[in-house]
Amino acid sequence: MIVLRITTIQIETPTKELLNELKKNYNSKTYDEVIKALVSRKTKSMFGKLSKRKMTSLSKMMSTLRDKSDRI
Amino acid sequence: MTKVTEFKLFLDSSAWLGYFLGNIPETKKIIDSSGNTLFTSIISIHEIYKKLETLGKTEKEKQEAMEFIEDNSIIVNLNKETAIISAKNCLKHGLHTIDSIIYSSAMEIQAIFVTADNDFRKLPKTIIIGMDEVEKTKKKTKKEH
């Protein structure tokens, strides 16, 4: 069994009230679940949105992406 | 296709570009899945913007991409601790400076590093994506010759 470490954080009372509301909306049991849901929330997909009719090849995408030589 | 079940994923510039350009199908599941918390190095912001510029993307497209990364991942800045660990990782894993800074940033927050860059293939806690596409390109090139 994996035992996760727990910790305590300080937040302002109005923030806790907001979390309480979200806890109800998300049907979550814990604040931890609410925070995780907030952090991992995603906007509308942009997959392939910057591709044109002809797809950019991986090799073209990778070329000159990163300088692979060191300054010193 | 690589199965990704980890919660914390640190995306390299190549993973984000493969997503926006649609040439790495695996990135759709990784990035759009609500089960993953994504992280991005501040250096990748520089690399992705520069690459989109060289590919001739419009200002609007580049801004949309930048905003998407900010809205959907946590931007990780560079600090002294990471700079020192990345120097050690340069020597330990034979990485170039930028590769090592980005990889070490991922390791610092105990995330899985996701990249399409084959230079990271032997490193621990790393997922290499886009290899299916590379293989397809190789086969296609062989047929053409």
Note the pLDDT of residue B100.
97
Query: How far is residue B81's CA from residue B78's CA, in Å, rounded to a whole number?
Result: 8
Name chain B contacts of A50, Cβ cutoff 8 Å. Answer: 20-22, 52, 55, 57, 61, 65
- pLDDT 10s digits, B94-145: 999 999 999 999 999 999 999 999 999 999 999 999 976 555 555 555 565 5
Name chain B contacts of A65, Cβ cutoff 8 Å. Answer: 13-14, 17, 47, 51
Per-residue exposure over B100-109, b if at least 16 CB sit within 10 Å of its own CB, e if not = bbbbbbbbee
Q: Across residues A23-40, what is the average pLDDT?
A: 90
Q: Chain B residue with minimal CA distance to A66?
A: B47
Q: Across residues A52-60, what is the average pLDDT?
A: 86
pTM for the model stands at 0.84
ipTM associated with this complex: 0.82
Give the best residue of A62, A69, A71 to mutate against chain B (max B CB count within 10 A): A62
DSSP string, A8-62: -----HHHHHHHHHHHHHHT-SSHHHHHHHHHT---S--TTTT--SSPPPHHHHH
Q: Confirm if B26 and B128 have CB atoms less than 8 A apart.
A: no
Q: What are φ and ψ of residue B141, in 5° steps?
A: -65, -40
Q: Among candidates B72, B144, B23, which has minimal Cα distance to A62?
A: B23
Instruction: For residue A50, give the amino acid letter.
Output: L
Query: What are the structural domain ranges in chain A?
Result: 13-39
Indicate yes or no: CB of A66 within 8 angstroms of CB of B99.
yes
- pLDDT 10s digits, A9-28: 999 999 999 999 999 988 99
Q: What percent of chain A has pLDDT over 70?
A: 99
